[in-house]
A and B are shown apart, each in its own frame.
Chain A
């Protein structure tokens, strides 16, 4: 069975190629696939009739009980034969339906073949979850087939409507199947049927599963997608929307009825919706002028009929239902195919424009009439057998509740009258000669191959009527799984003798004929009784409602305002941890305001600076005030006895200020943005509250500590194992070197990012050495200071030069550089380290740049920052890899001690290489920032190459 399904899949994928090679003849090759499946299915008949199932299981996702578990029993065999048989014939029909120049035939062929495979899988699946898989696949292929090329609006709408509606039902069904599966302890249909669960879960499961069946089989109130789906090409209507896909709901109801029919709610729902659908469909069919729509509403009506029969949960009705399903598939696909031929031959399906076709296409007329007769329930066709069996069953007690049985019987008879009436309307509309309408021109006579499928299907319906006793064994295999309510089993036969059901059949035919005879007045009456709303409108209105809701929700939550987003985050902090802190957390027993009063002083300074930063309108001053908070923190670090941290914080703060100042050159002097007082008040409250929360949370967290902090274990190993006395530095380059590696790579990226934003197109500009010509020009300038202290200051505008600064820089630069190296190398034992050293070197570069301008920077560091960054990263990361390569752990430190001639005892700790990497990266970062935010912006100013970015463009909302 898996092989058959795979065969369909492969054929579906290959179909577009085959169509390209062979044109529409490819359909004949594709038809072989379902045909082979049909033959295989029939070959299993003997086994199945003997009471054995054909099973096959391939594990798929065992953790979810989702396996490719297939089972062929009597019910599956009936549906499989129907699906594959009709499928093969429809594909043959397609070989003539499409003309060679039609576009998209390949895509269509692929979808149709794949659909046939999905449908086969659906009826074979034993795992309910697998059933859902195929169920949904048929939905998707139906979407593609209805939409076709997508050129027509109506087709697109119908396709998406069918997709959304049947998927909605399908999802409900999925949940229902899960509920049923968990309640029954198994997801295998065979096991659920053998031992269904009980309790309220089954009721929920039943209702949800029915939602799937009802939408798929187009029952009221979800019937409207089916007529709309008639936008699809006729073969699709014949196959999906008559024989196969819409039968999936019928199949599911039939499949579950043995286990679920007695679950409360099942019968009222199934019978109520079934009968209502039969009546509504028949009623609407009487109004249609398009032959296809007439058939579509007829299908809706018949689906209601079928679901009523198979869902009732008794042996006799189930048997009737199965026969009727078979009959319906045969006659309805024939009729659709007939309409397709008519459409093809005449170019219209409008029954008011067709006339006299019966004489021109006699074979087609006979075929259509045979099928129609089956639909109306005339002997000796299969439709008659099924309908008779249904009436008999209801009369003989096929429903335990007699009142319900009577109501259902009345409904079904009324529905059958409507069926007979629209059958007559169909035949009349398609083939009769109408007064006042000219005979329709027939473009070309249909080829024999085009007629083969409908003829074969209608003949099957004709043969199976008298031969219905042959079906009895198969039908009984399934029906016997349900309780028999009548006194004795009624076997299938064309002739049961004179009995009440026969009278009912006669009544329906007569009633139908009468209704057709008075079609004029009936039509006028129907028009007058037009209802206030249609289900179709309801669907689109619901969808419109979803659209409005989505716009409202999104418009309210997605404000595009950064302050709003930040506010949300902070309010969330207050609402969750804040509230938990107030209500649940244990407050510390004792409070200590400060360790030394100096902390309080620093605190006041920092807070004051923070408040000032909000009030000051001048950007530069605001930035400086922000800097004060940073220096304040550095002081706190120093007070706590952390000189390394204080040093680093101090250097970072300074560098940040420089960078700020460089950037501020490009920004307006003042902050002009104003906020409304209420906004400010709200923000103020949030800010203060978050600050207070953090302080309190810190106190609470500290008070809760019982364990020993890991840092207490650092000093000893830091010296013994890391070879350094400065625990902070050993932590940075050894104990937590992995963190540092991450942080320096972050710096590399930050530098790259700054450069990328300023240079935009390149990683960075080339190194700008001082141009000789400009130096020479400057030499001749009278007003320039005589002496050159720095390499490139001569290129500066004399007004911008400061001799004092130049001299100081000249004196200090190399000293600072040496100091930075000292910090780097001594860092392992004294305060310092690669990070601090790099920052100091960076400040030296800042000095050179400030004193001498952009060319001076190039002279001071004639190297591309990318090289420093890349080299540094290579150093830092390389120490990790080298360790690995030497068989040690990643980033593991080795201590090499030796005595050198001059220097005496030298202790080399390999983590120094790591620190060198850090140093290089920090220098590279500063250099990159200076070059992009300093030198490049200078260049843009000098060369009147303004930044393209208008600052106003980036205002925050």
Chain B
């Protein structure tokens, strides 16, 4: 069963891409083909998951070559789960993109390019999850990266090219580090088969192991956007078309996280660098979420929360316990779904309100109650509000952290809690400013600075401190003269905040209401429903994550599935 099905999540999208290229003049055919292919991939992935969960890990040797000569594809609980989640959100995003294309024509997302490229992207992601061979993992990464370069620069606007250059160059650098690491691994062990590496790496001197492990971690750390290797992400993701950003945010960083999980558990068990990873996780969480708090643009804010929450997953991995890994695996599944959904919602917000800047938006809750629900529920989910899946993932990680019991683990627990709170703050601000605040009221009043000034004025009602505008909150509405230092600071932070030079538009300048195409809303609703359904499915899903992580720590199921025995040449 697995022999036949395992290659399909890669082959089907590739053949679909070929078909889409051959039929480049027939958009209807392309659409149908893509939908059929991704539906089939989803179905195959579900079957693979069921089989892998029931029978344990299985491997396919491509071309029938004896192991370890050829390439193996390995389906274990973790990779099958990742396949299912990835193909689900890919399908959702595709439907959204089709809806957007149908509504906009091909101006912003030329579909004849989008379809084949998107399918190849899915093939790359699937390949990365299935790869049982370190070099093939690299190939998987390259496929998805190349597809992502194209998707990120669709339409070729100046902003996209600028974001694209950052993305392409950083990604190439990370690939270079990865490739160099593979070369070093092969130099040291003479193999790239991961099951064989699991054994051979352990026979190397400890220092050499550390060298190889740290190289791989850096390569994957860039892809997963772990601080301090994360700055590229918020600069490049937000510029792409909504469905592209959505699928990137959901899938691409998680492929990096997946690779870190594999490396840490299969290739380098023992947790030699766990402490370092803990610190990286803490920094990722905090720096990321502070970035989110500072943003006024919905998409940029979401990009920063994306980085921040990668820290959660790294935290779980770094704990090195089955509980920690289970939390991380669950969180990956949750985060793929939620982050994709929120970026799609951001696409709807941009359509409805003509912008994603909370200064320019306003009154969305009244104008479109449907959109309000579609934003609020996943936003609360992202912030880890129970009973949604974000809470369950967070709970798992916190439990694992508390159970670990070290001072560092408790520091991480505290960091995780602070991150959760600041995430809530960030999304609640978007809600109050873009959805609640009528567009006619000035956004400057919404800042904490303005509120603090008002609170002081309330305490001293007799004083003449009626000045309620922000001091320097976000540099919007204050006519006071600035010092040179303040100016320098403004320049220093301008890029990070993507600060708008001028004032926000006056009341009434908000763009007229654009109706939301039904397909786009439908796709987003379906994904929101999926993220909500994760609450009900949390029991079986967490059980699966638990079993997957036990397998990961054990390692023998993986190795045995490849070699048929525990004896490895």
Contacts and interface: CB of A to CB of B under 8 A. Distances in A.
B120 A580 contact: no
Contact of A160 (B191, B428, B441, B493): B428
A870 B22 contact: yes
Given A534-B459, A566-B169, 4 more contacts: A63-B543, A133-B391, A580-B207, A753-B113
B69 A705 contact: no
14 contacts: A150-B432, A164-B428, A175-B413, A533-B459, A540-B449, A547-B473, A550-B294, A552-B493, A553-B290, A553-B291, A556-B492, A738-B62, A866-B24, A893-B64
A178 B21 contact: no
Interface in A712-757: 713-714, 717, 721, 734-739, 741-743, 745-746, 748-750, 752-753, 755-757
Chain B interface size, as a band, is 35 or more
Nearest to A129: B395
B214 A762 contact: no
Interface in A861-886: 864, 866-867, 869-874, 877-878, 880-881, 884
Interface in A472-527: none
Interface string A902-929: 0000000000000000000000000000
B205 interface: yes
Interface stretch (A270-278, A569-577, A790-798, A852-860): A569-577
Given A547-B449, A569-B173, A756-B150, A749 B399 contact: no
Interface in A666-705: 694, 697-698, 700-702, 704-705
A636 to B, nearest CB: 14
A386 B222 CA distance: 63
A159 B431 CA distance: 11
A697 B170 contact: no
A586 B142 contact: no
Nearest to A208: B417
B450 to A, nearest CB: 9
B142 A559 contact: no
A151 interface: yes
Contacts of B441: 153
Contact of B17 (A543, A745, A763): A745
Most buried by A among B11, B107, B140: B11
A61 to B, nearest CB: 5
Interface string A553-566: 11111111110111
A562 B232 CA distance: 8
A107 interface: yes
Contacts of A133: 386-387, 391
A544 B455 CA distance: 13
A880 B294 contact: no
A136 interface: yes
A750 B291 contact: no
Most buried by B among A129, A530, A562, A874: A562
A132 interface: yes
B190 A708 contact: yes
Contacts, number: 468
B106 interface: yes
Interface in B111-148: 112-113, 116-117, 120, 123-124, 127, 135-136, 139-140, 142-143, 146-147
Given A160-B429, A175-B402, A721 B189 contact: no
Contact of B180 (A172, A534, A694, A881): A694
B165 interface: yes
Interface in A153-190: 153, 156-157, 159-160, 163-164, 167-168, 171-172, 174-175, 178-179, 182
Interface of A: 59-64, 66, 103, 107, 129, 132-133, 136-137, 140, 143, 147, 149-151, 153, 156-157, 159-160, 163-164, 167-168, 171-172, 174-175, 178-179, 182, 530-531, 533-534, 536-537, 539-541, 543-544, 546-562, 564-566, 568-570, 572-573, 576-577, 580-581, 583-586, 694, 697-698, 700-702, 704-711, 713-714, 717, 721, 734-739, 741-743, 745-746, 748-750, 752-753, 755-757, 760-764, 864, 866-867, 869-874, 877-878, 880-881, 884, 888-893, 949, 953-954, 956
A866 B22 contact: yes
Contacts of B68: 710
Nearest to B204: A704
Given A64-B542, A698-B183, A572 B228 contact: yes
A168 B421 contact: yes
A566 B106 CA distance: 35
Given A705-B190, A756-B113, A61 B162 contact: no
Contact of B326 (A63, A546, A584): A63
Contacts of B214: 576-577, 580
A869 B149 CA distance: 18
B533 interface: no
B366 interface: yes
Contacts of A560: 235, 495-496
Contact of B496 (A63, A559, A570, A697): A559
Contact of B211 (A700, A735, A753): A700
